[in-house]
Amino acid sequence: MNLDFLIDECLHRRLVDLAAARGHLAEHVVRLGLAGTPDGLIAGAAVGRGAVLVTNNRRDFRRIYARLPRHPGLAVIVPNGPLALQARLFEGLMIHLEDHAPADCLVEIDAAGAVTLEPWSAARSD
C-alpha cells in the first residue's frame, strides 16, 4: 500500500527521504512553508492532501483529530529523540501501516518499537 505522509516540524526532515525510499509520498511542514503554523491548520493541511500526519506532538494532535469526522490517520512517534531514533521508529511505523490502513485511526509507536492502532475520530464509538 502506498501512503502519503505529512511530517510535522517537530520531526527531522530526513524522514521524507525514508518514506520515498519505501515508495511513499511525503512532505515536511517546513518545506511546505508551514513552520510555526497553528496545529489545527497543520491538521487541515494533512487532511486536505489525504496525508497521514506524523508528529511527536501527541497531546495537541490527539485532541484535534478526535474532533474530526474523517481523516487519513494520525501517527505519533512517542519518544522525542535524535534522527537515528526517529528514523528507526518511522521505519517501524511505515512497515506496520503498509499492512494496516490508518484512516480514522491513531497510530503510536513507542521507544521499543511497539505499535498500537486504534479508531480515533469524532465517529469512533467509545
Three-class SS of residue 36? Answer: coil
Average pLDDT over residues 51-73: 96
d(Cα 73, Cα 50) in Å, to the nearest integer?
A: 9
The reply to whether 124 falls in a domain is no
Q: Please say if the pLDDT value at position 111 is more than 60.
A: yes
Is residue 125 domain-resident? Answer: no
Q: Which domain holds residue 92?
A: 4-119
The span from the CA of 99 to the CA of 124, in Å, is 21
pLDDT of residue 63: 95
Residue 94 lies in a domain: yes
Q: Is residue 126 included in any domain, yes or no?
A: no
Does some domain include residue 17? yes
- Confirm whether 34 is domain-assigned: yes
Asked whether residue 19 is domain-assigned, the answer is yes
Mean pLDDT of the chain: 95
Distances (CA, A) of 117 to 13, 74, 101: 24, 10, 10
| 106-114 average pLDDT score | 97
User: What is the number of structural domains in the chain?
Assistant: 1
